[in-house]
Amino acid sequence: MIGLFILSEGCVIVFELEKNKYITGGIKEKVSMFQQLVCWNLIEQKNESGIKLDYLQIFEFFQEKDNNKIIYRQERPLFIDEYSFRGGAIKYLKIWVIDDSERIVMMLPEEY
């Protein structure tokens, strides 16, 4: 699957899910396999629904009262999705998934 988005400047951004996917050391060290799989699955679902994907996908995991929350968003075209799930307490965590045209990399923002 390929998601295309054409910016007003005429630049094309491609988020191609068949590319090799990588995780950084920070992801391996600080992010559970469950959280990693949730991110990959939400990107795949969004792509299959026909939504055009930006090169940058942003995920935020946090706890709100008795629920765990995930905010999944991108800037162009803008969308913000919120998901709730029950489970053990989780710490706030922000994850970026970047398609750099050669590969897709999951990283923590501070690793950019």
Structure-model confidence comparison of residues 88 and 97, the more confident one:
97
CATH number of 2-111, picked from 3.10.105.10, 3.40.50.720, 3.10.450.150, 2.60.120.260: 3.10.450.150
pLDDT tens-digit map of 16-54: 667 899 999 999 999 999 999 999 999 999 999 999 999
How distant, in Å, are the alpha carbons of 17, 20, 91, 104 from that of 100? 12, 11, 28, 6
CA–CA dist 64, 50 (Å, integer)? 30
Q: In this prediction, what percent of the chain has a pLDDT beyond 90? A: 74
| Domain locations along the chain | 2-111
pLDDT at 87 over 80: yes
Q: How far from chain centre, in Å, is Cα 44?
A: 10
| Local structure of 83: helix, strand or coil | strand
Q: Which two tokens stand for residue 4?
A: 């295309």
How distant, in Å, are the alpha carbons of 19, 103, 104 from that of 111? 21, 16, 14
Instruction: Evaluate the omega torsion of the peptide bond into residue 77 and state whether it is cis, within 30 degrees of 0.
Output: yes
Indicate the pTM of the whole model: 0.83
